Chains A and B, each alone.
Chain A
Amino acid sequence: MALRKVRNNLDRLFDKNLTDLIRGIRNNKENEAKYIAACMEEIKAELRQESSFVKANAVEKLAYLQMLGYDISWAAFNIIEVMASTRFNEKRIGYMAATQCFTTDNDALIMMTTNMIRKDLQSTNLYDVGTALSGLACFATPDLARDLVNDVVNLLSSSRVYVRKKAVLVLYKIFLKYPESLRPTFPRLKDKLEDPDPGVQSAAVNVICELARKNPRNYLFLEKMFFKLMNTSSNNWMLIKIIKLFGSLVPLEAKLGKKLLEPLTNLINSTSAMSLLYECINTVIAVLISISSEFPGDFTASIQLCVQKLGVLIEDSDQNLKYLGLLAMGRILQTHPKAVQAHKDIVLRCLDDKDESIRLRALDLLYGMVSRKNIMEIVKKLMEHVDLAEGSFYRDELLAKIIEICSHNNYQYINNFEWYISVLVEMTKVEGSKHGVKIAEQIQDVTVRVQSIRHFSVSQMALLVENAHLLLSGNAAQRNNVSEVLLAAAWICGEYSEHVRDVVGVLESMLRIKMSLVPGALLSIYIQTITKLYSVLLTKHEKENDWDAVESLDNLILSKLPEFEYTDHLEAQERACNLIQILKFIEKQHASRTKMGDAFAMLFEGELNPVAAKAQKRVPVPEGLDLDAYIYEPEPDSELSESESEPDVSFPTMTAQSPIYDASEPSYPSPKQSKKSKKAEQASQYVSTEESRRQRQLDIDSNPYYVKSDKKAPTATKKTSNVNSRGGMNRSESLLTAAAELQSPLEIPGVIGLDRYLKQQSSTMSWKTAKSEREKSKKGKRKGKKKRTQSSSDEGGDPVVVHHVNRDDGEMPEGAISTDEENEGKNGRPGLSDEFKALDMDLDMPLRADETLFVPQPYHRPEEVDLYTLPTSRPAQAVPTVQNGEKKVKKLKKKAKQPAEKPKKKTKPAVEKTEKPRKRIKSEKSVELNYTSISSTGKPSKEAAANAAELIVAEPATTSANGAVSHVSRLQSLGQNGDLSVFGKVDAVITSGPDETTEVKGVALIKFKNRGNDVLRRLELSVYETDRITLDTSAGVIDSTSIKLPFELTPKSINEHTLHLKFAAVDQSQKLKVTLMYCVEKADGIATEDQINFNLTIPAIRFLVYATIGATSYAFILANDDLACASEKAASTQPLKAVIDEITGASNFSVVEFHDSAVSLYAHSATDAPVCVLVKKLDAETYGVSVKCSDSELAKSVSNDLKDLVEAHEEAQNGQLS
């Protein structure tokens, strides 16, 4: 036996501790995995040992390994064991490991810990509670939150600041996990906003701020309270949170914003803390946004102030401030673009910044800087950046931004659309851009909207189509982009074929397209365009009666088109088949010299107009149409693959005979479009309508011609790479009419890129800006090209041309419903995760009856059971019971310490309060950090000092409002003689001292009533202090033996005096002997001295603190055998209810359970230890009172007090009766 012990000790000596492990890992860098595997084995062995020390050590090592990324979830049970340790150090290790590795996956394990955590939360050891709270914040699960919310809420009234603060913050986590707890708990949380400790206030603000950001509406009613806090607090950390909180409330209540402007402006002007300044500006911006809609007024001063301050930030050399300045500026821009324009130059300079994030933010601002005058200049600059940009992300952002700027508000800023088309063409050539779709959309949109540009646009597009093979010679990603643009180009050539100069050339180049290179969608558009161009040529030739030309045209197409029949894109294939059949028919007709041209051209008659983005949604559903009903019953699994690829989307450009609505379609082409409506689709065979929707959505997304709502088209992922165009060179040369001297990659003769366009302009016009920029930006790539190879100079030369732009929103279908419903989306509040949706509730509404916090189900006590006998099915046997012996020792130690600490404490609160502002300023100076001025007050220190002074005055009131104080006790007669009678009462106030210790103070109110007919003068109290009760000298009394009362008692008058007391021991009833000396001045002038002695009794129950507890937890506490117990019998005939009312009225006990003949009560002692009481009606005339708590002295005193209380009550009642 002894031998084994020795061996164990030796083993322990050789055990690896954490330091050894870390060192070992560092020394075994080459075979770390192996080393750690070996360590894991050791740890497993250690965990099997009995010693809790060894286990804790092992768990600590595991926690380290976990941090390095090793899985330690297998050790969860051991971790719980260590968490349950009674040694704080081990417990801490256990909790730390738990916070790191417990996930919701080991839910069952966490459930096991519920009772253990509850025990720690109820522990008298401050640090046990703190550790448990920190842990709970990390691994709270819905179950855990539900079971423990009561305990955490109880801690809100803890006398210790440290615990209160933690409990407040943990509540947030609990709300998230168990939203039902929010409403019942919120009043308690709200109270914490007025906590005497600023730290606790700040914590409460943090929590509410976080809650309000997600559901601001629920917290509007707290507005006043926050105003008060904002005006009184000088803690910048808290101010930031309050102001942020206002920022989220403001959008809901413009009035609030108006009130905020002034204080915020003051703060902006006075604070030196950048973080606070930034937050203020942000909130002011939010105010301005909300206000501008509701109160039209002049807020230029505020805007100017913000913009000016932001300008300072942006110009700062600190990148962080620059970034934030730009960010906030972006928000102002949304409502007050003009204000921002003053900073155009700085913003443009930021585009050259080295940091990409700054450049991106500057980009965001650009569209506010753009005007009709400078747009070309700015875009020019951006294009330069596109060329320089490293990294495709930034390049893509740039391209997107250019398009955004130019298309802003239906091309508001664009004068010269030829220039814009040139820009777009130029952008097509940018490597690996992801914006093919957008560019294509723009080209189409501009061409449709601006009639006068069509000629130029078509000529450019025709060139693009003719040189498609060149453009398509890049890599796959590049090809995708080009295809998108070609798609638009081909469509434009077809739609506005009257502007195409070389129709045959375009037609031929389309027929020659390499089908393997391009996507099917492009082919189907090609076929469409071929049809249109064919129609044009046909009409022309027939008019001239040139039958040879007609035949050769027919032949040309019929010989090439069959290739299209073999494409794997179904739509293209189908269209090709259709067209061939039609052409064959026409050819036959031609054989008999019948003219078909006019009839054929009918297919494409009519003007195409822009369609409003919302048009599709607004098409009213015809009456009697059920969109969800099957047209016919789906066949199981039939031809799914076939039907999937069949597009059931209507294409405006498809040929069709009549605009028949397909009933299976939830959406129609708008009436205008349907002039070229789709052919009637057969009813779909989808397995389910759901699936068909999804499928349709996919189609919609992939089809650029679909009238999209605001949804962005998905962009394919592409990568940059070099473009090699050499392959297609030979063929192109033969084709090109305009001679190209030197070909650079992707350079197409005739296509006017941006540079060339500007060059052209400068040669004809004197465009200073354009010229100077051209000079700067000449790229090596373009140097070779000097010669103008432009084809459409007839119209392109004049930039002053006022283009008529169709800037309407677009056409709407007839019978479309009015505008209101669009807002649907906004009300649904997208982006709010479920987690927070659950927290959206009205907090101001009174609680419903069923809304109570989860209290573990009370157990049912059998009728005839002895006091405190517990049911055998006690919860969680596995949980170790409280080690009470140790606890007691600690407590005793603490008590012994307390008196010694007293003198220090006495003067502290007052001193600390006034000192604070000074301290803060000091810390500001000592901390050398750019933004560290956050800890400065931002307010003149005088004001802060005044605030502090105010607080001191208000202190007694606030503490008493805070629940830490006992109930108001009743006045009792203390004694009387012939001259006067004395009444008095004592209330105990439990406060926490500055260093987390508990202090018990008391206020004794003594009333004196003059019974005689003479005046009583020179009243003087002398108090006999004991080592248990002393006078609280901080209240200003110095000599306890002679307290002169500042009044006289005239005959029959009453006056009162308060004594401030301090209690050193609170575990028993206290008596304080007081003598009142006075002088009776008879009417005849003779004065006699007299005195009266009386005792102030302070029963032990006065020292109890109000606390509530669930029945299960209550049982759990009682299960502890180590608790001291004391019982008394009290004679009373009063009903149980009356007795209990009397007790709860006179003391701080809360009722845990109320049975027919017994009631259990609960309270905390001054040191936060639980005190349990059972009052039982033994027979008609006797009550049994049993008290259980950890302190036998306290138990005895409390039971005695209760006995006295009950009996006194009985007497009083009887007295009344008789």
Chain B
Amino acid sequence: MIRFILIQNRAGKTRLAKWYMHFDDDEKQKLIEEVHAVVTVRDARHTNFVEFRNFKIVYRRYAGLYFCICVDIMDNNLYYLEAIHNFVEVLNEYFHNVCELDLVFNFYKVYTVVDEMFLAGEVRETSQTKVLKQLMTLTSLE
């Protein structure tokens, strides 16, 4: 299952942090820093997987942003790599050519997107059209 989802930029600023496991606030900050340290040193010729504590991080870089998902060791790496890409495509569609600033100024929307696609540490919805439709309805409720 997914332990947490992080979006960070290269400088290590958090753009999203969603926790599916209980951590203390201090622990969360520590994790964020550690993940940043582990992930940013890697470049394109490295794999998109890093072993991390008792888990592993599946991450993918899009422009200046790192999308990281921390999962159990036995999980299928490609499954989550795919999930990340799916997520980014939804964001791209939702914000119309998403850029980092979109995520910054609409951070609560990003959380909504995450909630639509992931729940309780599992991938909940994989159909982009369904998610987008749902998101549009939610936006119209505002």
Residues of A within 8 A of B (CB): 18-19, 22, 60, 63-64, 67-69, 71, 73, 88-89, 92-93, 96, 99-100, 103-104, 127, 131, 133-134, 137-138, 162, 165-166, 169-170, 172-173, 199, 203, 206-207, 210, 213, 235, 237, 240, 244, 274-275, 278-279, 282, 319-320, 322-324, 354-355, 357-358, 923, 927, 929, 931-932, 934-935, 995
Tell me how far the C-beta of B133 lies from the nearest C-beta in chain A, rounded to whole angstroms: 8
Residues of A within 8 A of B13 (CB): 68
Residues of B within 8 A of A67 (CB): 14, 16-17, 107
Interchain CB contact (< 8 A) of B78 among A68, A92, A137, A278? A278
Known A206-B123, A320-B81, A927-B89; judge A134-B115 contact (CB<8 A): yes
How far, in angstroms, from A18 to B122 measured CA to CA in the complex?
30
Interchain CB contact (< 8 A) of A935 among B28, B45, B126? B126
Residues of B within 8 A of A127 (CB): 137-138, 141
Residues of B within 8 A of A278 (CB): 76-78
Interchain CB contact (< 8 A) of A237 among B20, B104, B123? B123
Residues of B within 8 A of A (CB): 1, 13-14, 16-20, 22, 24-25, 28-29, 32, 45-51, 74, 76-79, 81-82, 85, 89, 104-105, 107-108, 111-112, 115, 119-126, 128, 133-134, 137-138, 141-142
Residues of B within 8 A of A274 (CB): 78
Residues of A within 8 A of B20 (CB): 137-138
What is the chain A residue whose CB lies nearest that of B56?
Answer: A357
Q: Are B126 and A89 in contact (CB under 8 A)?
A: no
Q: Are B141 and A357 in contact (CB under 8 A)?
A: no
Q: Are B24 and A103 in contact (CB under 8 A)?
A: yes
What is the chain B residue whose CB lies nearest that of A934?
Answer: B82
What is the chain B residue whose CB lies nearest that of A166?
Answer: B119
Tell me how far the C-beta of A581 lies from the nearest C-beta in chain B, rounded to whole angstroms: 54
Tell me how far the C-beta of B108 lies from the nearest C-beta in chain A, rounded to whole angstroms: 6
How far, in angstroms, from A213 to B122 measured CA to CA in the complex?
14
Shortest beta-carbon contacts, A-B, top 3: A275-B78, A137-B120, A206-B122
What is the chain B residue whose CB lies nearest that of A68?
Answer: B14
Known A170-B119, A207-B122, A279-B76; judge A320-B47 contact (CB<8 A): yes
Q: Are A275 and B82 in contact (CB under 8 A)?
A: yes
How far, in angstroms, from A133 to B124 measured CA to CA in the complex?
12
Q: Are A934 and B78 in contact (CB under 8 A)?
A: yes
How far, in angstroms, from A199 to B115 measured CA to CA in the complex?
16
Q: A96-B108, A323-B47, A357-B50 known; 8 other A-B pairs, CB under 8 Å?
A: A67-B17, A69-B28, A100-B17, A137-B119, A138-B20, A199-B125, A320-B49, A932-B85
Q: Are A71 and B25 in contact (CB under 8 A)?
A: yes
Residues of B within 8 A of A199 (CB): 125
What is the chain A residue whose CB lies nearest that of B78?
Answer: A275
Interchain CB contact (< 8 A) of B112 among A18, A92, A165, A322? A92
Q: Are A357 and B77 in contact (CB under 8 A)?
A: no
Residues of A within 8 A of B119 (CB): 133-134, 137, 166, 169-170
Q: Are B122 and A210 in contact (CB under 8 A)?
A: yes
Tell me how far the C-beta of A170 lies from the nearest C-beta in chain B, rounded to whole angstroms: 6
Residues of A within 8 A of B134 (CB): 162
Residues of A within 8 A of B18 (CB): 99
Tell me how far the C-beta of B101 lies from the nearest C-beta in chain A, rounded to whole angstroms: 9
How far, in angstroms, from A60 to B22 measured CA to CA in the complex?
22
Q: Name 11 A/B residue pairs within 8 A (Cβ), A-sorted.
A: A63-B107, A69-B28, A89-B141, A93-B108, A100-B17, A103-B22, A137-B20, A162-B134, A169-B124, A173-B120, A320-B77
Tell me how far the C-beta of B71 lies from the nearest C-beta in chain A, rounded to whole angstroms: 11
Interchain CB contact (< 8 A) of A319 among B14, B45, B51, B142? B45
Residues of A within 8 A of B76 (CB): 240, 244, 275, 278-279, 282
How far, in angstroms, from A99 to B13 measured CA to CA in the complex?
20
Residues of A within 8 A of B51 (CB): 357
Q: Are A166 and B124 in contact (CB under 8 A)?
A: yes
Residues of B within 8 A of A237 (CB): 79, 123, 126
What is the chain B residue whose CB lies nearest that of A923?
Answer: B128
How far, in angstroms, from A935 to B1 measured CA to CA in the complex?
20
Residues of B within 8 A of A358 (CB): 47
Residues of B within 8 A of A133 (CB): 119
Residues of A within 8 A of B74 (CB): 213
Residues of B within 8 A of A131 (CB): 115
Q: Are A203 and B124 in contact (CB under 8 A)?
A: yes
Tell me how far the C-beta of B62 lies from the nearest C-beta in chain A, rounded to whole angstroms: 12
Q: Are B79 and A240 in contact (CB under 8 A)?
A: yes
Q: Are A60 and B128 in contact (CB under 8 A)?
A: no
Residues of B within 8 A of A93 (CB): 108
Residues of B within 8 A of A96 (CB): 108, 111-112
Q: Are B25 and A929 in contact (CB under 8 A)?
A: no
Residues of B within 8 A of A934 (CB): 78-79, 82
Q: Are A929 and B82 in contact (CB under 8 A)?
A: yes
Q: Are A324 and B77 in contact (CB under 8 A)?
A: yes
Residues of B within 8 A of A69 (CB): 14, 25, 28-29, 32
Interchain CB contact (< 8 A) of B49 among A68, A88, A323, A354? A323
How far, in angstroms, from A190 to B108 measured CA to CA in the complex?
35
Known A165-B124, A355-B47; judge A63-B77 contact (CB<8 A): no
Known A60-B108, A133-B119, A169-B122; judge A355-B46 contact (CB<8 A): yes
How far, in angstroms, from A736 to B82 measured CA to CA in the complex?
65
Residues of B within 8 A of A355 (CB): 45-47
How far, in angstroms, from A60 to B107 measured CA to CA in the complex?
10
How far, in angstroms, from A67 to B7 measured CA to CA in the complex?
11
Residues of B within 8 A of A206 (CB): 122-123
Residues of B within 8 A of A354 (CB): 45-46
Q: Are B105 and A19 in contact (CB under 8 A)?
A: yes
Known A133-B119, A324-B77; judge A88-B19 contact (CB<8 A): no
Known A71-B25, A104-B22, A138-B20; judge A319-B46 contact (CB<8 A): yes
Tell me how far the C-beta of A935 lies from the nearest C-beta in chain B, rounded to whole angstroms: 7
Residues of B within 8 A of A324 (CB): 77-78
How far, in angstroms, from A169 to B20 measured CA to CA in the complex?
12
Q: Are A319 and B124 in contact (CB under 8 A)?
A: no
What is the chain B residue whose CB lies nearest that of A199?
Answer: B125
Residues of A within 8 A of B46 (CB): 319, 354-355, 357
Tell me how far the C-beta of A206 lies from the nearest C-beta in chain B, rounded to whole angstroms: 4
Q: Are A932 and B82 in contact (CB under 8 A)?
A: yes
Residues of B within 8 A of A240 (CB): 76, 79
Residues of A within 8 A of B49 (CB): 320, 323, 357
Tell me how far the C-beta of A301 lies from the nearest C-beta in chain B, rounded to whole angstroms: 24
Residues of B within 8 A of A162 (CB): 134
Interchain CB contact (< 8 A) of B141 among A22, A88, A320? A88
Tell me how far the C-beta of B50 lies from the nearest C-beta in chain A, rounded to whole angstroms: 7
Residues of A within 8 A of B112 (CB): 92, 96
How far, in angstroms, from A133 to B118 measured CA to CA in the complex?
12
What is the chain B residue whose CB lies nearest that of A357?
Answer: B47
Residues of A within 8 A of B24 (CB): 103
How far, in angstroms, from A274 to B81 measured CA to CA in the complex?
11
How far, in angstroms, from A18 to B108 measured CA to CA in the complex?
10
Tell me how far the C-beta of B98 lies from the nearest C-beta in chain A, rounded to whole angstroms: 16
Residues of A within 8 A of B122 (CB): 169, 172, 203, 206-207, 210
Q: Are A275 and B142 in contact (CB under 8 A)?
A: no
Residues of A within 8 A of B133 (CB): 995
Residues of B within 8 A of A207 (CB): 122
Tell me how far the C-beta of B114 lies from the nearest C-beta in chain A, rounded to whole angstroms: 9
Residues of B within 8 A of A319 (CB): 45-48
How far, in angstroms, from A89 to B25 measured CA to CA in the complex?
26
Residues of B within 8 A of A235 (CB): 126
How far, in angstroms, from A319 to B48 measured CA to CA in the complex?
8
What is the chain B residue whose CB lies nearest that of A831?
Answer: B54
How far, in angstroms, from A100 to B20 measured CA to CA in the complex?
10
Q: Are A89 and B142 in contact (CB under 8 A)?
A: yes
Residues of B within 8 A of A173 (CB): 120-121
Q: Are B105 and A22 in contact (CB under 8 A)?
A: yes
How far, in angstroms, from A815 to B120 measured CA to CA in the complex?
54
Tell me how far the C-beta of B95 lies from the nearest C-beta in chain A, rounded to whole angstroms: 15
Q: Are B48 and A320 in contact (CB under 8 A)?
A: yes
Tell me how far the C-beta of B104 lies from the nearest C-beta in chain A, rounded to whole angstroms: 6
